[in-house]
Every structure is written in structure tokens, then in C-alpha cells.
Amino acid sequence: MLRVCVIGMGPIGNRHARLYKQIGQAELVGVCDIVKEKADAAAAKLGVRAFYDAPTMLTVLKPDIVSVTTAGVENGSDHYLPTIQALDAGCHVLCEKPMCNEIAPAEAMVAKAKAKGLCLGVDMNHRFTPAARMAKRWQDEGRLGHLLFINMSMWIMNPNETSPWFHIKSLHPHTVDVMRYFCGDIEAVHCFATKAPGRKIWSTATFNMRFKNGVVGTLTGSYDIQRGHPMERCEVAGTRGRFVLEDMWREVTLYPAGNLEKSSYSNPVFDGMRDFEDTFLNRITRFVEQVAAGTSPDQIDGSGVDGLAAQKVLAAAVESVETGNVVPVR
């Protein structure tokens, strides 16, 4: 049984904590927030101990796994400190996205995990679904042939105006991670961005990407569209076929080239995914399974290395909006 603590008890930390209690190989033992009332409320609800500073909790409870669900500037600046503290305490860490809003601290998080030989995962949950796995299987079976292009899009409403780059840095770790999952590393980016009426931040954007393997791709994203209709779509095409993955888990369809019969998977009514929360359950369960199995840190699905790679793509996109240039991913 792996002992688990959660640091940062906002809505997402509470969700992580609640979900660990559903996972057989995990035992939630403590929660921490620098705001006493938040730690106490979560602890009372979950039946575990409350702490108000992470190092004390790590010393007293000695967890095997720590979820870092803090937020901060651009939803990411507060992840660095507790992640480093947990790694220094010998814990495997699952960190929320963006793993950090700046590149240098994100690099330090990855370097620390490597030096300690510990697993660092990032909660880029959107691809931890049966439909995405099926699309990946089709790809691995060669049913797409030589990969050519990817079109990715995601749109939700988020009125946060705290940083001009909030939409790009906070939303798009998810979409870039899905794109990298299917098509590999991205080497150059161009980004146009716009502001919805009344907004001060770059709240809608399109990205043009070139991948290292020659695949070309587009990403369209927005923090300006109310919830309700579908919110995410991923289309990947190669010389032998093309798939369209709708809303992460709802449906994926393979269109074989030159064959009018398509294959389709729809989320089943029984034992299917219930809602967005299940993407968290699947992602967290996978991290627990991999840690329990002694998976090598460099084999972790959705690792810190993947999180860092996504942030570097987004840093290039920000530079592209500022300069108008195509920017290499460094």
C-alpha cells in the first residue's frame, strides 16, 4: 500500500485526495494547505490529518507519493517549492499542470527528480482515456501509415485576467501533451493570438507547429467559450488513415484511406467514463500503478520531462506572439 499526501487543498487538491481514496493501492494519509481553514476542512471531510506546512507533513507522515495541487501565477508558480520539498523527502510526485509557469524552475524540478531517482508525473489528464488509448493502438498498429498532420482544438470559458499569457500557459499544457502523445516532439511554433471583446489577455489563439519527425500541426484554443457543447477535438492523419478523437473519451473514429468502412469506439453506457473527473481518476491511477510496479522514472506516462517539453512549446508560442516570428523550441 502506498502512503499518499496532497499539498494544496483548493478544488483540485480536494479532487486528487478524494480520488486516491478510491484507488486500491493507495492510502491517503494527510493533506496540507498554508491556509489553515482549507487544510482543516479537507482533513475533516477525508478523515486524515491536516498540516499547514509541507516539510512538517513530509517529515511526520513519510508518504511514498505526493500530489502537488497548488496554483499561483499563471496557475503554476506555486508548484516548484512543494515539489522540490517532496522530492528531497524521497517522495514520488504527481504535480498539477502547468508544472511551472517559468522554464528554469520546471527544469530544476525535472533535474531534482532525476538526481533523486524518483518518479515525477504531471497531471496532463486529457489523454488518459480508453478512447485515446485506442487511437494510440491504431497508430501503433500502423493503421495511420506515415504520419502527416494533426489538428487539435480545445475551448472552454475561463475569465481569469491575471496575466496576458494565462490562457496559453495554463490551458495548453493539455493540448500540447495530446499532440506530443500522438506525434512526438515539436521543434518550431508560430502563434497568432486575439482578445475576446472586453478581455485584456490573449484569450484565444491559433498555433502552427512543426514536429521533429516532419509532421505538421495546428492547435486552436480559447478561454472565451461557455461550457456545454463539445470542448476538445483531435484529428491525426497519415498516408493510410485518419482518426478523429472527440472530447477526450466520448468517441474516436478511424477513417481508413481508400476504404469507406470506418471503425468507431463510443464511450459505453456501462463501465464507461462518467465525466471529466474520470480523466483525473485514470491519470492518478496510472501514476500509482507505475510507482507500485517500480517503473523506472524515465518510463512514467505523462512525466515531468513531458510536462517540461509542453511548457517549452508554450514559451516559444509566447515569444512568437511577442515577435511575430516562427520560434524554435529550445
Ligand X SMILES: NC(=O)c1ccc[n+]([C@@H]2O[C@H](COP(=O)([O-])OP(=O)(O)OC[C@H]3O[C@@H](n4cnc5c(N)ncnc54)[C@H](O)[C@@H]3O)[C@@H](O)[C@H]2O)c1
Residue 57 CB, nearest distance to ligand X (Å)?
A: 9
- Closer to ligand X by CB, 13 or 238: give it: 13
Residue numbers at the binding site for ligand X (CB under 6 A): 7-13, 32-35, 38, 54, 69-71, 75-76, 78, 81-82, 96-97, 123, 125, 170
The dihedral region occupied by 62, where left means phi > 0, alpha psi between -120 and 50, and beta the remainder, is: left
Q: What gap in Å lies between CA 63 and CA 169, rounded to an integer? A: 30
- Closer to ligand X by CB, 123 or 235: give it: 123
Q: Cell for 154?
A: 480545445
Cα distances (Å, whole numbers) of residue 195 to 47, 171, 177, 192? 44, 15, 24, 11
- Closer to ligand X by CB, 242 or 286: give it: 286
Beta strands in the chain (DSSP E): 2-7, 26-32, 49-51, 65-68, 92-95, 120-122, 147-155, 186-194, 204-211, 216-222, 232-238, 241-246, 251-256, 263-266, 327-328
Q: What gap in Å lies between CA 270 and CA 112, rounded to an integer? A: 42
Residue 262 CB, nearest distance to ligand X (Å)?
A: 30
Residue 222 CB, nearest distance to ligand X (Å)?
A: 16
Residue 71 CB, nearest distance to ligand X (Å)?
A: 4
- Closer to ligand X by CB, 84 or 237: give it: 84
- Closer to ligand X by CB, 25 or 158: give it: 158
Sign, Cα dihedral of 55, 60, 65, 68: negative
Residue 242 CB, nearest distance to ligand X (Å)?
A: 27
